[in-house]
Amino acid sequence: MLTNYLKIAWRTLRKQQGFTFINIVGLAVGMACCMLIMLYVLDELSFDRYNEKADRIYRIHADIKFGGNDMHFAVSPDPIGPTLKKDYPQVEQFVRLHQQGTWLVKRAGETINLREDNITFADSTLFDVFTLPLISGDPKRALAQPNSVVISESAAKRHFGNQNPMGQPMMFDNNKTFNVTGVMRDMPTNAHFHSDFFVSMLNDNYPWGQWLSNNHHTYILLKPGTDAQAFAKNFDTVIEKYVGPQAMQMTGSTMEQFRKAGNSLNYWMIPLTDIHLYSKQQIELAPNGDIQYVYIFSAVAFFILLIACINFMNLATARSANRAKEVGVRKVMGSERQQLVGQFMTESILTTTLAMVLALCLVAITLPEFNKLSAKSLAISQLTSTYYLPLLIALPLVVGLLAGSYPAFFLSSFQPITVLKGRINVSFRSAGLRSGLVVFQFMMSVVLIIGTLIVYRQITYIQTKNVGFNRDQVLKINDLYALGNQTEAFRQEVLRLPGVVSGSISGYLPTPSDRSDNAFFAEGQTNLNKGINMQNWGVDYDYLKTLGIQLVQGRDFSRNFGADSAGILLNEAAVRILGFKDPIGKRIWSYDDPKLKTRKTYTIIGVVKNFHFESLRRNIGALSMTLQPSSGAAAFRFSNANVPDLMKQIEAKWKQIAPGQPFSYQFMDDSFDDMYRAEQRVGTIALTFAVLAVLIACLGLFGLAAFMAEQRTKEIGVRKVLGASVTSIIGLLSKDFLKLIVIAIVIASPLAWYAMSQWLNDFAYKIDIEWWMFAVAGLLAIGIALLTVSFQSIKAALMNPVKALRSE
Instruction: Find the range with the poorest average confidence among 4-13, 192-201, 371-380, 496-505.
Output: 4-13
Give the pLDDT score at 250: 65
pLDDT band at 427 (very low <50, low <70, confident <90, very high): very low
Does the structure show a pLDDT above 50 at 298? yes
638-657 per-position pLDDT tens digit: 987 778 888 899 999 998 88
Rounded distance between C-alpha atoms, residue 153 and residue 161, angstroms: 10
- DSSP conformation letters of 635-648: EEEE-S--HHHHHH
Give the pLDDT score at 670: 82
Burial class (CB in 10 A: 0-12, 13-18, 19+), 578: buried
Instruction: Find the range with the poorest average confidence among 45-54, 764-773, 784-793.
Output: 784-793
Burial class (CB in 10 A: 0-12, 13-18, 19+), 168: middle
pLDDT band at 430 (very low <50, low <70, confident <90, very high): very low
157-169 per-position pLDDT tens digit: 999 998 999 999 9
- What lies within 8 Å, CB to CB, of 806 at 6+ separation is none
Parallel, antiparallel or unpaired: strands 176-184 and 148-152: parallel
Average pLDDT, the chain: 83
- DSSP conformation letters of 775-789: HHHHHHHHHHHHHHH
Q: Is 165:116 a contact under the CB 8 Å cutoff?
A: no
Mean pLDDT of 534-541: 90
Mean pLDDT of 589-596: 69
Rounded distance between C-alpha atoms, residue 306 and residue 693, angstroms: 10
Nearest to 695 by CA among 369, 362, 383: 362
More confident residue, 522 or 711: 522
Name the β-bridge partners of 604: 568
Q: Is 516:580 a contact under the CB 8 Å cutoff?
A: no
Mean pLDDT of 22-39: 85
Q: Is 273:47 a contact under the CB 8 Å cutoff?
A: yes
Give the pLDDT score at 263: 83
- What lies within 8 Å, CB to CB, of 552 at 6+ separation is 572, 607, 608, 609
More confident residue, 438 or 193: 193
Instruction: Give φ, ψ of 60 to 5 degrees.
Output: -95, 130
Mean pLDDT of 468-490: 87
Mean pLDDT of 783-799: 75
pLDDT band at 121 (very low <50, low <70, confident <90, very high): very high
How distant is the alpha carbon of residue 633 from its chain centre? 27
Does the structure show a pLDDT above 80 at 46? yes
Mean pLDDT of 209-235: 92
Give the pLDDT score at 362: 92
Mean pLDDT of 774-800: 79
- The CA R_g of the chain, rounded to the nearest whole Å, is 34
| Residue environment code for 186-223, b if the CB has 16+ CB neighbours within 10 A, otherwise e | ebeebbbbebbbbbbbebbeeeeebbbbbbbbbbbbbe
Instruction: Report the range out of 364-368, 507-511, 595-599 with the highest average pLDDT.
Output: 364-368
Burial class (CB in 10 A: 0-12, 13-18, 19+), 111: exposed
Nearest to 326 by CA among 344, 338, 311: 344
Does the structure show a pLDDT above 80 at 621? yes
How many residues would you count in the chain? Answer: 808
More confident residue, 602 or 390: 602
Give the pLDDT score at 336: 64
Does the structure show a pLDDT above 90 at 317? no
Measured at the CA of 751, the angle between CA 748 and CA 757, to 5 degrees, comes to 130
Share of the chain above pLDDT 90, in %: 31
Give the pLDDT score at 372: 85
| Residue environment code for 781-798, b if the CB has 16+ CB neighbours within 10 A, otherwise e | bbebbbebbbebbbebbe
Alpha-carbon distance values, 767 to 17, 761, 773 (Å): 48, 10, 12
Query: Hey, how many other C-beta atoms are within 10 angstroms of the C-beta on 27?
Result: 29
Instruction: Report the range out of 85-89, 511-515, 786-790 with the highest average pLDDT.
Output: 85-89
Instruction: Find the range with the poorest average confidence among 84-88, 505-509, 749-753.
Output: 505-509
Give the pLDDT score at 429: 39
Dihedral sign of CA atoms 284, 285, 287, 292 in order: negative
pLDDT band at 407 (very low <50, low <70, confident <90, very high): low
How distant is the alpha carbon of residue 597 from its chain centre? 43
Query: Hey, how many other C-beta atoms are within 10 angstroms of the C-beta on 645?
Result: 12
Give the pLDDT score at 552: 93
Supply the DSSP symbol for 564: G
Query: Hey, how many other C-beta atoms are within 10 angstroms of the C-beta on 328?
Result: 20
Does the structure show a pLDDT above 50 at 668? yes
> Three-state SS for 141?
coil
Instruction: Find the range with the poorest average confidence among 55-69, 253-267, 751-765.
Output: 253-267
pLDDT band at 505 (very low <50, low <70, confident <90, very high): very high
Supply the DSSP symbol for 53: T
Query: Hey, how many other C-beta atoms are within 10 angstroms of the C-beta on 647?
Result: 15
Rounded distance between C-alpha atoms, residue 751 and residue 730, angstroms: 32
Nearest to 781 by CA among 445, 324, 346: 445
pLDDT band at 187 (very low <50, low <70, confident <90, very high): very high
Cα diameter, the chain: 108
Does the structure show a pLDDT above 50 at 81? yes
Rounded distance between C-alpha atoms, residue 233 and residue 267, angstroms: 9
Give the pLDDT score at 555: 92
Mean pLDDT of 141-146: 92
Q: Is 6:350 a contact under the CB 8 Å cutoff?
A: yes
Q: Is 327:416 a contact under the CB 8 Å cutoff?
A: yes
Rounded distance between C-alpha atoms, residue 266 and residue 238, angstroms: 10
Starting at the earlier edge strand, list the strands of the sheet with 665-667. Answer: 500-505, 633-638, 474-478, 665-667
Mean pLDDT of 258-262: 80
